Structure 1
Amino acid sequence: MSEFFDWISSHLWAGWGILALLLAAAELLTLDLTLLMLASGALMGGVTALIFPSMVWLQALVALATAVATLFLLRPTLLERVRRAPGYRSSLDNLIGSQTTNTVPITGSSGEVTIQGETWPARSYDPSMTIEAGESIEVLGLDGIVLLVYPTNRPLGR
């Protein structure tokens, strides 16, 4: 194992490349684009290591500058484009249409429901309606992160 580290220390470009690949692979688990921006920094550190192999401080500086620049300049733009793409649905949007049984009363201004093991703030879709505990409900919409719910056993009045 020490031979591997000796080789990496004499070929820092490969170490930067391995780090970039590991960060890019880890990005596939998060899909948040943060680790991908860090991977771009590591990649640029590797390119700098190819040009200036003995200047480790410069490699680290270029890697850090690239990672910070992409995190704060490129990532927000990319996230906005992804979120505006046709067919994109956030995890909150995926809750619309979910059905569950509420455990606490839900009014037009307050309440909570548990869907797929997660507790969400909720309120009645019809502000004048109170949904008693134990009723089967369906998520009809969203108001921020508050779920708008309606009982499945009652006809929709509006």
Structure 2
Amino acid sequence: MNDIDAWVWWLVGAAALGIPLVVTAMPEFGMFAVGAVAAAIAASVGGGAVVQVLTFVIVSVALIAVVRPIAARHRTQRPQLATGVDALKGRQAVVLERVDGSGGRIKLAGEVWSARSLDTGHAYEVGQEVDVVEIEGATAIVM
């Protein structure tokens, strides 16, 4: 055991930290693994035990402090390109059959959709333009 250099132990530690990264999908383990690789580099150039540990701690903490907030911000952002029914929200449509609180038909994005008025007391007549507020199943909610 004494014949193995310190940098090898740091690489073993980095590999060991990579296992829970893959299993749990927690990116913090990956950041610790990168810190262990940095400590292995410090050990390979002759840094003592204190330098190795400080390198591991500084690199790991710096990655967590910088990368984690960026990753969290990207995770909470909505995609730039709306697809599916999300792309239809906010679009305009033309009334084909009278639309009120109980139903009707509109032409939306070149397709005929069933529609319902958002305000149940308000009706839209044939030819009128309406805005799509929401899509519920196969029914467009308009106003």
What's the TM-score, normalizing by structure 1? 0.46
1:65 maps to 58
Q: How many residues align?
A: 82
Q: Write the distance in 2 (CA, Å) between the matches of 1:13 and 1:33.
A: 23
**Could you say what secondary structure the match of 1:6 adopts?**
coil
Q: Is the Cα–Cα contact under 8 Å of residues 37 and 75 in structure 1 kept in the other structure? A: no
What's the TM-score, normalizing by structure 2? 0.50
User: Following TM superposition, by how much is the alpha carbon of 1:6 offset from its aligned partner in structure 2, in angstroms?
Assistant: 1.6
Unmatched 5+ residue regions in structure 2? 80-140
Q: Is the Cα–Cα contact under 8 Å of residues 19 and 42 in structure 1 kept in the other structure? A: yes
Return the index of the structure with the highest Cα Rg: 2
State the Cα RMSD in Å. 2.4
Deviations 1:116-136 (A, max 9, x none): xxxxxxxxxxxxxxxxxxxxx
Q: Does 1:35 align with 2:29?
A: yes
Q: Give the 3 Å change call, closer, same or farther, for CA 15–80 of structure 1 in structure 2.
A: same
| Residue type at the aligned position of 1:23 | L
Runs of 4+ in structure 1 deviating by more than 2 angstroms, as ranges, are 78-86
Deviations 1:65-90 (A, max 9, x none): 0011111111221233244475xxxx
Identical counterparts, % of pairs? 22
User: Following TM superposition, by how much is the alpha carbon of 1:32 offset from its aligned partner in structure 2, in angstroms?
Assistant: 1.8
Q: Write the distance in 2 (CA, Å) between the matches of 1:83 and 1:14.
A: 38
Unmatched 5+ residue regions in structure 1? 87-157
1:56 maps to 49
**Could you say what secondary structure the match of 1:7 adopts?**
coil
2:20 maps to 26
Q: Give the 3 Å change call, closer, same or farther, for CA 27–49 of structure 1 in structure 2.
A: same
